[in-house]
Structure 1
Amino acid sequence: MAKPRRPVACATDEAVIRGSLDTTRHRDPALVAARLTQWLAARHPGGRVETIEAPLASGASSELFFVSLSGVELEGRPAAEAVLRMAPAYAVYPHVDLAAQFRCMDLVARRSPAPVPRVYFCESDPAVLGAPFLLMERRHGRGAPDWPSYVRQGWLHDLAAAEQAVLWRNAVEVIAAVHRTGLAPQDVAELGLPFGGATLLDQSLRYWRRYLELDRQGGRYPELEESVAWLERQRPNADFAPTLVWGDASLRNMLFDGLQPCALMDFEFAHVGIHAFDIAFFALMDYVMAEGFAGGAPRLPGFPGVQETLDLYERASGRVVPHREYFVRMALTYMSLATTRVFQRLAREKRVPPDLVATNPPLRILGEVLRSGKLPP
């Protein structure tokens, strides 16, 4: 596949990547800690926040704080550390529902072997902290950083190719574990994508169309228009079994203990949907990180390509990944819709030049796929 053309101001620049990872802070951590202490004390007399830390990068779709607690016992044991995830002032997604995120994470934690942190509380009243929030278990491990990119340096880069292959296979297996989460009829009815549709595929297509309408508020993007229309026009005539999908499956959203994932994070887009989309997203994201955000750097030698990763998933899960081209294109469309929305915010906040919105890495790769008809290998 030909390398996408890059603009003079490049979305692989350090300042751009760091900006895309950091949510603009709207809240004073000390004030958040004081209000959270009041809220905790009403539920756990004597409970309080001892320390609060705002990580340098908390992602583009939420605002995070790490908190240490005292006097709080959750599920029969002291809760010394937690993560506070607050809904952002700028919505990346066309629909944000923290209660649904809570339910999805809780289902995976309770009904699957996947290493998902327990979610302790969901508070939907924005008056408490200024926005709805989740309070969840904090886990520790080594991550796959965006900057400096794990593709170019760091512990993942320094692993032997055979170790990288084991780590990748383990990551695929935990995604298969997420997909084994048991679902009751009520879960299927209530945790699908929110804009209606008679089938899971109908729901997905309506969601992409709504996402496109959201992105249109900041400009016109012919690649997004064409790709969403292609998905609608080429939809397979098939039924899909309801599956709890992560929605943002990638190495970047995992923590590792050795070569084994020990925590899965960022369930903002978790929903009952189609397993093929979820694993296609995972398979494609590493390519986008290397080819797009790392400026065309070679992928790590132990990581297989998209099709081989889908084969690995089939062996790990016992489930076929049908209509592969369709769902890989769907995954790339989603990446492009979401990243365009993030870059619109960056441009509005004058952290990137406005012309980078229409040349962000996933969108450039999507344009190349549309022009060539060839998917990433």
Structure 2
Amino acid sequence: MAIINDLNSPEVRRKLEHRLRAAFPGGDMLRITDLEVPPSGLSFQTLKLTVEREIDGRTSRQKLVARVEPLPGAGIFREYDLEREVRVLQALQGSRVPVPRIHFYEAEPTVLGAPFAVMEHLPGRAPADSPSYMRQGWVLDLSPDQRRCIWTNALRVVADLHAVDWEGLGLDWLARPELGLTPVDQQIAYYEWTQAWGSAGHANPTVDATFVWLKANRPSDPEPVVLAWGDAKPGNMLYADNLTVAGALDFEMAALASPELDLGWWLFAHRYHAATLEGGTVPSGILSREEVIDGYQEMSGHEVRHAFFYEVLGGLRVAVLADRGYRMMMAAGLLPPDHAAPANNAATQALAAMLDLPAPDGINDIHEFEAPSS
């Protein structure tokens, strides 16, 4: 069953209501009154539900969110494991990291055609990745002081995540020793494996050269190991009206790694969005690269020693996922089959400039790529 095609069918709603009744026992009635499928990127599908229940003659309504795993081979990652993300979110309950509460995880595909999890709906709004929040949207309506407040609060959530006792929470299973001896070796190996699959054997000179650079320049000194988000950036958080962080989302790339893995991803995301601006002038109040590094060091107590390396690694990860994402678009007929976007895009252009590599070849008329994790 293809979830996107069949979501609004009476049969799917009936099955979903039946599963929800099992998860929320009691009461005289439960029905879905609203089912919304927001625009998504090239990874997990998100559904927004409103459930109406009647208990002892009183009617209540509850908003929920369902996160649905892509079908095999249908996303930007070679492998998906929603249960893995669910276990991370459950472990973080009660911590200083404001993650949504998981109501249940359903491994069987009989309801929605794939495994899915239903979680609480957190209020708040997130900066959009596409079009970039630096170009349009509600972030630009804020004052510089308000933007600084949001960015500072978001950075504090990252520091709070890294302070979590992952061993005490039983998250040691997140390690991937089969991929390498150290967390950074594991990250490089994982994305090499992903690139070999996602590119379908096509050349990507910038990505290949970046892998060579990363292997030659990886940190040699011991690094602390923390629970890393893997996708740490302001756009993966929900903000309340008072500008505090109401929710931290999208932990599909969570890993045990250096805290600078998240810092580098954040820094490259900033570079990526800034590149979409004419003249490159970032809206005032959004923390600069130096302010992010200094702020993180102050909040976490960790001395940042390899920011540029991990920023390059962040760019490499984006470029690998963009390669796969553009090839998905080409396969779907959304781009010409000979389009240059997989090898020549904002991520590879940034990496080439950072590492003094030859500029990617080919004409690319796409100015922005929707963030893979959105």
Question: What TM-score bracket applies, with the shorter chain setting the length?
Answer: 0.7 to 0.9
RMSD across aligned C-alpha pairs, in angstroms?
2.6
What SS class does the counterpart of residue 346 from structure 1 fall into?
helix
Runs of 4 or more off by more than 4 Å in structure 1?
294-297
Distance across 1 between alignment mates of 2:199 and 2:43: 18
Say whether the 8 Å CA contact 1:144–1:156 is kept in structure 2.
yes
| Number of the residue aligned with 1:107 | 91
1:357 aligns with 2:336: no
What SS class does the counterpart of residue 49 from structure 2 fall into?
strand
Which amino acid is the alignment partner of residue 355 of structure 1?
A: A
1:330 aligns with 2:313: yes
Cα deviations by residue, 1:266-318 (Å, 9 ceiling, x for unpaired): 111112222101022112212202314x5665321112322331111011111
Matches within 5 A, 1:197-212: 197-212=180-195
Say whether the 8 Å CA contact 1:343–1:360 is kept in structure 2.
no
Q: 1:237 to 1:172 in 2, by over 3 A?
A: same
1:347 aligns with 2:330: yes
| Number of the residue aligned with 1:278 | 262
Say whether the 8 Å CA contact 2:23–2:103 is kept in structure 1.
no
Say whether the 8 Å CA contact 2:38–2:48 is kept in structure 1.
no
Q: 1:339 to 1:71 in 2, by over 3 A?
A: same
Q: CA deviation at 1:44?
A: 3.6
Q: CA deviation at 1:193?
A: 4.1
Distance across 1 between alignment mates of 2:353 and 2:114: 39
Distance across 1 between alignment mates of 2:86 and 2:97: 16
Question: Highest CA radius of gyration, 1 or 2?
Answer: 2
Which amino acid is the alignment partner of residue 149 of structure 1?
A: S
Q: CA deviation at 1:173?
A: 0.5
Matches within 5 A, 1:1-377: 25-30=4-9, 31-45=11-25, 48-71=30-53, 80-89=62-71, 90-110=74-94, 112-184=95-167, 187-193=170-176, 195-217=178-200, 219-257=202-240, 258-292=242-276, 297-353=280-336, 354-371=339-356
Q: CA deviation at 1:194?
A: 7.6
Say whether the 8 Å CA contact 2:205–2:343 is kept in structure 1.
no
Which amino acid is the alignment partner of residue 363 of structure 1?
A: T
Corresponding residue pairs, total? 345
What SS class does the counterpart of residue 50 from structure 1 fall into?
strand
Distance across 2 between alignment mates of 1:273 and 1:71: 43
Q: CA deviation at 1:330?
A: 0.8
Instruction: Give the TM-score normalised by the residue count of structure 1.
Output: 0.83
Cα deviations by residue, 1:139-196 (Å, 9 ceiling, x for unpaired): 1212212344321223211222222222211111011111122212683431124853
Distance across 2 between alignment mates of 1:51 and 1:367: 50
| Number of the residue aligned with 2:368 | none
Q: 1:301 to 1:24 in 2, by over 3 A?
A: farther
What SS class does the counterpart of residue 357 from structure 1 fall into?
coil
What SS class does the counterpart of residue 187 from structure 1 fall into?
coil
Instruction: Give the TM-score normalised by the residue count of structure 2.
Output: 0.84
What SS class does the counterpart of residue 143 from structure 1 fall into?
coil
What SS class does the counterpart of residue 136 from structure 2 fall into?
coil
Distance across 1 between alignment mates of 2:39 and 2:153: 26
Distance across 2 between alignment mates of 1:132 and 1:194: 26
Distance across 1 between alignment mates of 2:213 and 2:100: 37
Distance across 2 between alignment mates of 1:194 and 1:237: 18
Q: 1:322 to 1:79 in 2, by over 3 A?
A: farther
Say whether the 8 Å CA contact 1:144–1:251 is kept in structure 2.
yes
Unaligned runs of 5+ in 2: 359-374
Which amino acid is the alignment partner of residue 33 of structure 1?
A: R
Which amino acid is the alignment partner of residue 114 of structure 1?
A: V
Which amino acid is the alignment partner of residue 250 of structure 2?
A: D
Say whether the 8 Å CA contact 1:156–1:164 is kept in structure 2.
yes
Distance across 2 between alignment mates of 1:371 and 1:320: 27
Distance across 2 between alignment mates of 1:164 and 1:129: 39
Q: 1:227 to 1:148 in 2, by over 3 A?
A: closer
Q: 1:184 to 1:79 in 2, by over 3 A?
A: farther
Q: 1:42 to 1:160 in 2, by over 3 A?
A: closer
